[in-house]
Chain A
Amino acid sequence: MMPPHGPLRAHRPLGNVRQDERTHPMKEEIKPCAVPRAINWNRLHDEKDLEVWNRLTVNFWLPEKVPLSNDIQSWATLKPEEQQLTIRVFTGLTLLDTIQNAVGAPAMMPDAITPHEEAVLTNIAFMEAVHARSYSSIFSTLCSTKEVDEAFRWSEENPHLQAKARAILQTYAPGANPLKRKIASVFLESFLFYSGFYLPMYWSSRAKLTNTADLIRLIIRDEAVHGYYIGYKFQRAMERLSEAERAELKDYAFGLLFELYEIESRYTEELYDPLGLTEEVKVFLHYNANKALQNLGFESLFPAEAAEVNPAILAALSPDSENHDFFSGSGSSYVIGRAVATEDEDWDF
Chain B
Amino acid sequence: MGGLVFYSSSSGNTARFVERLGCDAVRIPISMKAEIPPVPDTFVLICPTFADGEGRGAVPKQVIRFLNAPERRAGLRGVIATGNRNFGTTYALAGRVIAAKCNIPLLYSFELAGTETDLARVKNGLDAFWETPCLTT
Q: Which of B54-80 contact A (CB under 8 A)?
A: 54-59, 61, 64-65, 67-68, 70, 73, 78
The answer to the question of A325 belonging to the interface, with a C-beta cut-off of 8 Å to chain B, is yes
- Assembly CA distance A228 to B122 (angstroms): 24
> Is B88 a contact partner of A338 (Cβ separation < 8 A)?
no
> Is B124 a contact partner of A347 (Cβ separation < 8 A)?
no
Nearest CB of chain B from residue A133's CB, rounded to whole Å? 19
> Is B11 a contact partner of A224 (Cβ separation < 8 A)?
no
- Assembly CA distance A337 to B65 (angstroms): 18
The answer to the question of A314 belonging to the interface, with a C-beta cut-off of 8 Å to chain B, is yes
Specify which of A232, A303, A307, A333 is in contact with B105 (CB 8 Å cutoff): A333
Smallest CB gap from B81: residue in A: A324
Smallest CB gap from B110: residue in A: A323
The answer to the question of B45 belonging to the interface, with a C-beta cut-off of 8 Å to chain A, is no
The answer to the question of A297 belonging to the interface, with a C-beta cut-off of 8 Å to chain B, is yes
- Assembly CA distance A324 to B81 (angstroms): 9
Specify which of A224, A290, A327 is in contact with B86 (CB 8 Å cutoff): A224
> Is A48 a contact partner of B100 (Cβ separation < 8 A)?
no
Specify which of A48, A303, A338 is in contact with B10 (CB 8 Å cutoff): A48
Residues in chain A near residue B51, CB distance under 8 A? 341
> Is A346 a contact partner of B129 (Cβ separation < 8 A)?
no
Q: Which of B8-53 contact A (CB under 8 A)?
A: 9-13, 16, 50-53
User: Given A323-B109, A334-B99, A349-B73, are A341 and B85 also a contact pair (CB < 8 Å)?
Assistant: no
Residues in chain B near residue A51, CB distance under 8 A? 50
Residues in chain A near residue B115, CB distance under 8 A? 290, 300, 304, 307
User: Given A55-B50, A326-B125, are A220 and B88 also a contact pair (CB < 8 Å)?
Assistant: yes
A227-254 contact mask (Cβ, 8 Å, vs B): 1 or 0: 0100110011000000000000000000
Give the total of A residues in contact with B, Cβ under 8 Å. Answer: 54
The answer to the question of A25 belonging to the interface, with a C-beta cut-off of 8 Å to chain B, is no
The answer to the question of A223 belonging to the interface, with a C-beta cut-off of 8 Å to chain B, is yes
Nearest CB of chain A from residue B61's CB, rounded to whole Å? 6
- Assembly CA distance A231 to B13 (angstroms): 11
- Assembly CA distance A340 to B52 (angstroms): 11
> Is B13 a contact partner of A324 (Cβ separation < 8 A)?
no
> Is B108 a contact partner of A342 (Cβ separation < 8 A)?
no
> Is B90 a contact partner of A48 (Cβ separation < 8 A)?
no
> Is A317 a contact partner of B96 (Cβ separation < 8 A)?
no
- Assembly CA distance A304 to B87 (angstroms): 21
Which B residues have a C-beta under 8 Å from some C-beta of A? Answer: 9-13, 16, 50-59, 61, 64-65, 67-68, 70, 73, 78, 84-93, 95-101, 103, 105-109, 111-113, 115-117, 121-122, 124-126, 128-129
- Interface pairs (27), CB distance under 8 Å: A48-B11, A58-B56, A59-B53, A220-B86, A223-B86, A224-B87, A290-B115, A297-B12, A303-B116, A317-B91, A318-B85, A318-B89, A319-B89, A321-B90, A324-B106, A324-B108, A325-B108, A326-B106, A327-B128, A333-B106, A334-B103, A335-B99, A337-B58, A337-B99, A340-B55, A342-B101, A344-B64
3 A-B pairs with the lowest CB-CB distances in the bound complex, closest first: A327-B125, A337-B97, A224-B86
Known: A224-B87, A338-B93, A348-B68. 17 other contacts (CB 8 A): A55-B50, A217-B88, A221-B86, A228-B84, A294-B113, A303-B116, A317-B91, A318-B87, A318-B89, A321-B93, A325-B108, A326-B107, A326-B108, A327-B124, A327-B126, A337-B100, A349-B67
